[in-house]
A = this chain, B = another copy of it.
């Protein structure tokens, strides 16, 4: 049932994104609440709750993809936070972004690394 997928999704969203995910959901309420609902149902309710890949690997995959795509900075910021929340170390996240210099070029990796720096600074994790 839709409601069950939504409930599963909300749980997963809380587990992974903490506050950031809810902010996105709220920001959509006055323009397209359905997009918010689908974002909870499909990515979180259907995909992130699947057992075949652990959450740390899922976030590494997403951080890699968003860095390589290069045009989704707000979502990359959310997922760098999510990666930290599910147990990836700052080092693992930096290595993921650095590796994208090979596949998507140095600009993609540099811009991704600036996003990492912004999140680590905000969370007081910059050495």
Contacts and interface: CB of A to CB of B under 8 A. Distances in A.
A65 to B, nearest CB: 4
Interface string A87-127: 00001101111111111111111110110110010000011
Tell me whether chain A's interface is mostly helix, strand or loop, or mixed: helix
Nearest to A48: B99
B30 A92 contact: no
Copy total for this chain: 6
Given A92-B57, A107-B75, A35 B101 contact: yes
A52 B109 CA distance: 16
B127 A30 contact: yes
Nearest to A89: B52
A106 B38 CA distance: 9
A66 B103 contact: yes
A75 to B, nearest CB: 4
14 contacts: A24-B110, A31-B94, A32-B97, A32-B98, A34-B50, A35-B101, A35-B110, A38-B101, A42-B102, A47-B99, A52-B95, A65-B104, A69-B103, A70-B71
